[in-house]
Amino acid sequence: MTLDKLIADFADDSKPLKHIGLDQLSGLVSEHIIQFKMSWRSLPTSRRCEILAMLAKLSEDNLELDFTAVFRASLSDDDDDVREKATRGLFDCDDRVVIRPLNDLLAKDPSPKVKAAAAVSLGKFAEMAQDGKLLERDADRIREALLEAIGREGQDDEVRRKAIEAVASFNSEEVQRIIRDAYENGDATLKQTAIYAMGRSSDSQYLPTVLDETHHDDPAIRYEAALAAGQLGDESTVPYLIRLIKDDDFQVQLSAVQALGEIGGPLAKRALLQCLKMGEDALEDAAQAALANLEFDDDPLGFRFQA
């Protein structure tokens, strides 16, 4: 089926969108991009949004599918919702070619939700920079774009929060100051952002603060503290997380289980095995996923060498 025919089949938004055919949008090469753009703009806005959301889900489920070209082509769409979904679709992209357009969206897009999505997607590249997987000049551009967004006068609160979360991976003295200022600001939502950023920094200096916040009265704070403990990866946090498995708030329980799966170790594994006997399906599913994560970390190739 030609690209024009494929997109024409999607045009009738009264018909349910099906996965069949969407994989043909994977790996579009340059000579097809112009043709795609012309056909794509003819689709109703609601359909474009629906397709982008489905492509993002497909790429999560099948790592061999690559819809980067579709998401990039949609970054200049006239509709805010389309641009936002396209920007979020680039979250798992590790191709440096999308860094500049994401920086531009963060700096110039008129929609705060698109800017916030750009900050989230840039966070993936910030993590890559922390791991030494980016060119230094690319890392510098990302850090500068995020810091500029944080410091911009009149910046939307959600954009600033997402930029703080994303820039945390760089963990410079300036970034540490930004995280501390957010934590001490007095705003509960900004405090959640700061705790999330503490975990993302991978800096053990935040460990006492994160552990203190596992006792906070607000379940949203306990939730972020549990996730941050998982990201910091210190086995000393395991007893705190085990306590949170029996938290009054179910989302806090799930975050504690996820964190235990990231930290690992004998005590964490025993706690996760106990979760399988708690009689709560969602909690058991989360524990199964966490245990699978531990098994993968122990044996990433899927088999064990025999002596």
pLDDT of 3: 79
Runs of H (alpha helix) within 168-280: 173-183, 188-201, 207-213, 219-232, 238-244, 250-263, 266-275
Instruction: Report the 10 Å Cβ neighbour count for 150.
Output: 22
Q: How many alpha carbons fall within 13 Å on the CB side of residue 221?
A: 17
- pLDDT, residue 305, reads 38
Give the tokens for residue 35: 């043709």
Asked if 213 and 221 count as a contact pair (C-beta separation under 8 A), the reply is: yes
What is the per-residue pLDDT for 8? 80
**DSSP character at residue 185:** S
Instruction: For the chain, 307 residues long, give each residue's pLDDT as a single digit of tens.
Output: 577 778 888 887 777 787 778 988 999 988 888 888 888 888 999 999 999 999 999 999 998 999 999 999 999 999 999 999 999 999 989 999 999 999 999 999 999 999 999 999 999 999 999 999 999 999 999 999 999 999 999 999 999 999 999 999 999 999 999 999 999 999 999 999 999 999 999 999 999 999 999 999 999 999 999 999 999 999 999 999 999 999 999 999 999 999 999 999 999 999 999 999 998 999 999 999 999 988 876 655 554 434 3
Tokens for 135?
A: 């060119």
pLDDT at 299: 59
Q: What token pair was written down for 200?
A: 């993302």
Look up the CATH number of domain 203-299.
1.25.10.10
Q: What pLDDT is recorded for position 82?
A: 98
Chain-centroid distance of CA 215 in Å reads: 26
What is the reported pLDDT for 298?
Answer: 65
* Residue 281: CB atoms within 10 Å: 8
Distance CA 287, CA 261 (A): 8
Task: Count the residues in the chain.
Answer: 307
**Does the predicted TM-score (pTM) go above 0.85?**
yes
255 within 8 A of 226, measured Cβ to Cβ: yes
Report how far apart, in Å, the C-alpha atoms of 181 and of each of 166, 208, 213, 240, 259 are: 16, 17, 16, 26, 25
CB 225 within 8 A of CB 213: yes
Rounded Cα–Cα distance for residues 244 and 254 (Å): 9
Cβ atoms 26, 66 nearer than 8 A: yes
SS3 content of the chain, % helix, strand, coil (to 5): 70, 0, 30
